[in-house]
Chains A and B, each alone.
Chain A
Amino acid sequence: MSKIVDARGLSCPAPVLMAKKAIDDAPQDSSKDESIDEIKVIVDNEASMENVSRFLTSRAFNVEVLQDGGDFKVFGKKDGSEKVLKSESPISKHSQSTEVSDSHKQKILVLAATDRMGFGDDELGKKLMVSFLKTIKEMGDELWRLVFVNNGVKLTIKGSAVLEDLLDYEKNGLKIMVCGTCLTHFNLLDAKKVGETTNMLDIVTAMQLADKVINI
């Protein structure tokens, strides 16, 4: 599905938020051809042009910009989209984020919403979780994001049995995301020792970009 957003007369961050809303409000099931795979955002200042280009790139769109008088038309197109939204020729191409360009490797996101694995015996569950997080490195470099939410954030704090392992993973380039709302809720903001404090938007964006999401 394609969409046109007219954000002329608006300054940052409104054009980015309008583009975001247009994409987020559409149904996300791409098989039914209802999710946005082509979008055109019209803005009238360069700052908004750059910001919208960057936003669309972060959502895995290929971005092209066309200047039209004082306006900029920012075209975003997802790979595999056959439809043609424009007839004019573009003046610039923005490079895609490198994270999405490596096509043969899948991106796995592991969401740890708990500090224990499975139901039954909590002692056992905690041991299993430790073992799981120590073994997860066997996924190799297809392991792309490790996200901790709710009770899971307790694995990222001082004294966690897997803290050393997580620090190692992070040092080797794995992006570990830790829910800020959850840390605040448990009053653990200062105790967190590994990973990047993050928010729901980033988590949702990461889930959307991932090829596989594993929920523990």
Chain B
Amino acid sequence: MCGLPFPTDENVLIGIGTADDAGVYKVSDELALIQTVDFFTPIVDDPFDFGMIAAANALSDVYAMGGVPKTAMNLVAFPLEKLGGEVLREVLLGGIEKLKESQTVLIGGHSIEDDEFKYGLSVTGFVHPKKILANQGLKNGDCLILTKPLGTGIINTAIKGGLASESTVKMAIKVMATLNRYAAQVMVNFPVTACTDITGFGLLGHVAEMIDGSAVGVTIYSSLVPILPETVDFASIGLVPSGAHRNRKFRQNMVNLRSDVTPIIRDVLFDPQTSGGLLIGCPENQAKNLVKRLIDNGVEQAAIIGLVDDNIKGVINVE
């Protein structure tokens, strides 16, 4: 998108220029709008599950900015003759389920006929202009906290190959359909320095965005990173989505792997996530308390996975 003449004005607080999760536009000194949109092709077989996952994924960007979602619109491209109306209805019901859970209202949408099914939402949320959480802002000594386990890209690849066990598929769907709302509700009561959600670039790709061009680096402790069951097994037999390889190629010049970190774990850390968790930066003296509060509020797999360090500026060390 580089070089295009995007229009802008002084109320754009976060625009297309940064690699942030959503755009933010100041309405008044008390209120800013967060806007985001996301859609994709089905990743699981069950239409209701797919609807829930697509909605949780679209809502996530608002939470990652420290905001609260308010309104949403459906985006649908659907092969009506091939799949039939009942499938679409199930997908939309799944989406509505998550909108209700997030207390977001659906106020419209648009659908077209298309050979390949795609579904997603545009979501608008509110945030106080002084309480926006950008993806940059990490400080030396901060801890990084991840709120969902990794592995959904690899597991989706195994699902395509018919190799994932029923229990693993179930767990991956549950993780992907879980709103980042509960993590966000806890997070906003802490002195968070930066936040993003883990999606297509994988954990290390998003960490790279958090520190790229900044004065700090990050050490990731791979043994502390929560990973979904079977993910490592699938990665070790080569069921790694091409997106993980792309993510690695794009960012490998920033990443130092300690010699005992296997290529398999490295690929898991670069695995593109659908509706992944929040990655939260927070001063070390608050981090344990934040994790405890997250777990108490149902974000069961939240864990401290890394440390911010200004001695390794612009570098991600993986141990």
Taking beta carbons and an 8 Å cutoff, which residues of A are in contact with B?
11-13, 16-17, 20, 45-48, 50-55, 58-59, 180-181, 183-184, 189, 196-202, 205
Contact = CB atoms under 8 A, between A and B. Distances in A.
Contacts of A197: 165, 167-168, 229-230
A181 B165 CA distance: 7
A51 B167 contact: no
Pairs of residues from A and B, 7 with the lowest C-beta to C-beta distance, nearest first: A55-B238, A51-B238, A47-B242, A199-B165, A47-B245, A54-B238, A180-B165
Contact of B163 (A11, A48, A184, A201): A201
B237 interface: yes
Interface in B190-249: 229-230, 233, 235-242, 244-246
A198 B237 contact: no
A199 B241 contact: no
B237 A54 contact: yes
- Secondary structure dominating the interface of B: helix
A189 B166 CA distance: 11
Contacts of B168: 180, 197, 199
Nearest to A51: B238
A117 B166 CA distance: 29
* Contact size range, B: 20 to 34
B237 A16 contact: yes
Given A13-B158, A197-B230, A50 B167 contact: no
A17 B161 contact: yes
A11 to B, nearest CB: 6
B233 A46 contact: no
Given A16-B161, A197-B230, A189 B238 contact: no
A22 B241 CA distance: 21
B164 interface: yes
8 contacts: A12-B242, A16-B239, A47-B245, A51-B239, A180-B229, A197-B167, A199-B164, A202-B233
Classify the secondary structure of A's interface with B: helix
Contact of B236 (A20, A58, A189, A198): A58
A199 B168 CA distance: 9
A12 B272 CA distance: 14
Interface in B159-175: 160-161, 163-168
A50 B236 CA distance: 11
Q: Which of A11, A58, A197, A201 has the most C-beta atoms of chain B within 10 angstroms of its own C-beta?
A: A201
B198 to A, nearest CB: 20
A12 B233 contact: no
B157 interface: yes
A65 to B, nearest CB: 13
A59 B233 CA distance: 13
Contacts of B160: 13
Contact of B240 (A20, A47, A59, A196): A47
A171 to B, nearest CB: 14
Nearest to B229: A197
A198 B239 contact: no
Contacts of A50: 238, 240, 245
Nearest to A50: B245
B161 A51 contact: no
A58 B238 contact: yes
Given A12-B157, A198-B230, A180 B166 contact: yes
Interface in B108-149: none
B56 to A, nearest CB: 22
Contacts of A58: 236-238
B257 to A, nearest CB: 15
A8 to B, nearest CB: 15
B127 to A, nearest CB: 37
Contact of B238 (A52, A181, A183, A198): A52
Contacts of B238: 13, 16, 50-55, 58
B242 A199 contact: no
A63 to B, nearest CB: 11
A11 B240 CA distance: 11
Nearest to A95: B263
A11 B246 CA distance: 13
A183 B264 CA distance: 27
A52 B239 CA distance: 9
Given A12-B157, A47-B246, A197-B229, A180 B167 contact: yes
A56 to B, nearest CB: 8
Q: Which of B160, B236, B238, B246 has the most CB of A within 10 A?
A: B238
Contacts of A51: 238-240
Contacts of A20: 237
